[in-house]
A = this chain, B = another copy of it.
Amino acid sequence: MPELRKDPIVGRWVIISTDRAKRPTDFLRNKVVQKGGFCPLCPGNEQKTPSEVLAYRPDVAGGGQKNGPGWTVRVVPNKFPALTIEGTLNRQAEGMFDKMNGLGAHELIIESPEHFSHMAVLPGRQIENVLWACRDRMVDLKQDRRFKYIMIFKNHGEAAGATLEHPHTQLIALPIVPKHVSEELEGAKQYFNIKERCIFCDILRQEMENPVRVVAENEDFLIFAPFAPRFPFETWIFPKRHESAFENLSSHQMINLAAALKQLLLKCDVALDGPAYNLALHTGPLQEGSLDYYHWHLEFIPRLTNTAGFEWGTGFYINPTPPEESAKFLRESEMPAGK
């Protein structure tokens, strides 16, 4: 019999089809393939992007000059930004409606000079560099008091919305807190008001006690399938220590976060044949300081179904793979040697 399960943070019910549970081989295999061709993010084409806002260049002779080659990670404003950095918010009413200028930053974090690469196969140290670049940009943009929230996310593969195939992560700084974040914040706050405990910490404890949904873990992070996932093989990465702001990560945690990310992505590449995916950082609002009730984390969603008509039309989710099964598949999928 199918099950209705409730996400404890935001209160969303989802249908988990237990009867005809889909296994990895039941999904479309849309392996992400990089075609190559001219790429504005490749070394040598630095002039084709807006001027870099950050780059890591090895501290050796020939490490390169600003907007030249020699970088390991490079951050540039999006050439076609969804938001503009210049101006004031100019909050206005239009009758009963509210609007403001689309002020914000939209940046690309180029993860490697190698075009034909992908986060799963980058060396751990390079993934760390990418994570440090995200953090550095957050800390810098946080100085701009117009911004209330920074979204960091990654679309891998065309099916996941990527328009450039060179490995990159995106950053969007916003003058508002997006709805899906406010919902998490509000749900977590309500729980804290009653229990005086962080709901994410409670979830961590329960998942670790009975690890049926655990994919893997290391000293600092737990990788697991949530109890009420919207999508098949949806997987979350929680830091084990309570902290609401991603930017407060220690360097020890950074090493282990890079390792956890790499482990999850490699396992998915093996189990699901290199799928397109979306990865998103959920962190606290910029200007609120440390929160007792919120816990930053990563959400990973592979794109395994061609269509998402049902959810689009109804706002309601039917997930054909129970998280206990998706976790088992990923737990048991071996990483290829040498990766």
Q: Which residues of A contact B (CB under 8 A)?
A: 1-6, 8, 10-13, 15-18, 20, 80, 82-84, 87, 94-103, 151, 153-155, 158-162, 172, 174-176, 178-182, 202-203, 206, 210, 227-228, 276, 278-280, 301, 303, 306-310, 312-316, 318
Given contacts A13-B174, A161-B310, A181-B315, 5 further A-B contacts (CB under 8 A): A8-B96, A94-B227, A95-B206, A97-B227, A180-B314
Is B307 a contact partner of A3 (Cβ separation < 8 A)? no
Given A95-B206, A206-B95, A227-B94; A176-B315 close (CB under 8 Å): no
Known: A227-B94, A315-B178, A315-B180. A155 touches B309 (CB 8 A): yes
Contacts of A101 in B (CB 8 A): 1-4
Q: Which chain B residue shows the least CB distance to A176? A: B13
A3 B316 Cβ-Cβ under 8 A: no
Name the B residues within 8 Å of A94 (CB-CB): 227
- A83, B319: Cα distance in complex, Å: 12
* B155→A310 contact, CB < 8 A: yes
- The reply to whether A301 and B313 form a contact with Cβ atoms under 8 Å apart is yes
* CA distance in complex: A21, B86 (Å): 20
Task: Give the CA-CA distance A98 to B16 in the complex, in Å.
Answer: 13
Q: In chain B, what residue has the closest Cβ to A227?
A: B97
Expressed in whole angstroms, the Cα–Cα distance for A83 and B20 within the complex equals 12
Whether the pair A97, B228 counts as a contact (CB closer than 8 A) is yes
Bound-complex Cα distance A151 to B318 (A): 13
| A210 to B94 CA separation, bound complex (whole angstroms) | 11
5 closest pairs, A vs B, by CB?
Answer: A161-B309, A180-B315, A2-B102, A278-B313, A155-B309
Could you say which of B3, B153, B210 contacts A313, with CB atoms under 8 Å apart? Answer: B153
Chain B residue contacts of A5, Cβ below 8 A = 97-99
Residues A161 and B307 in contact, CB atoms below 8 Å apart: yes
Q: Is A206 within 8 A of B96, CB to CB? A: yes
In the complex the two chains form, is B4's CB within 8 Å of A99's CB? Answer: yes
14 interchain pairs (CB within 8 A)?
A: A2-B102, A4-B100, A4-B174, A5-B97, A8-B97, A96-B206, A97-B206, A97-B228, A154-B313, A155-B310, A162-B309, A174-B316, A179-B316, A276-B309
**Is there an interface contact between A278 and B309, defined as CB atoms closer than 8 Å?**
yes
Residues of B within 8 A of A3 (CB): 99-102
